[in-house]
Amino acid sequence: MDADMRYCVKCKSFLEQSKFVMAKNRNTCREHINKQHAQYQIERWKKHPMERKAHTIWQIAYLDCRKTFQIKMKLGLKQV
């Protein structure tokens, strides 16, 4: 086993260190963390549908701003 390998609890296998997030959940790979976060978002949006609408509108506005004007929008998602 190489020094740059880690064990993922969800995959139950050793993976390269680059497939892990450094900050949080050091024992779960990025793929599983992303799936877990997506599931969390779905549950949260079921409880707060207006938050989902605000998120969708922000995403569309952000992409339009980037494509049309080639500038980064100053309004962040947390400010919506």
More confident residue, 80 or 64: 64
35 alpha-carbon distance from chain centroid: 9
Q: Do 55 and 18 sit in the same domain of this protein?
A: no
- pTM for this predicted structure: 0.62
Residues 23 and 53 in one domain: no
d(CA 61, CA 79) in angstroms, rounded, equals 13
- d(CA 46, CA 73) in angstroms, rounded, equals 28
How confident is the model over 4-63, as pLDDT tens digits? 888 889 999 999 888 888 776 678 899 999 999 999 999 999 999 999 999 899 889 888
What is the number of structural domains in the chain?
2
Q: Are residue 34 and residue 61 in the same domain, yes or no?
A: no
Map tokens 């877990």 to a residue.
Answer: 36
- Please give the DSSP secondary-structure letter assigned to residue 36: H
Q: Is the pLDDT of residue 3 over 90?
A: no
**Could you list the residue range(s) of the whole structural domain that residue 4 is in?**
1-47
pLDDT of residue 6: 87
Radius of gyration in angstroms for the set of CA atoms belonging to the chain, rounded to a whole number: 18
Confidence of residue 73 (pLDDT cuts 50, 70, 90): low
At 77, the pLDDT band (50, 70, 90 cuts) reads low
- For residues 42 and 56, state if they share a domain: no
Tokens 């020094």 -> residue: 3
Tally Cβ neighbours within 10 Å of residue 8. Answer: 19
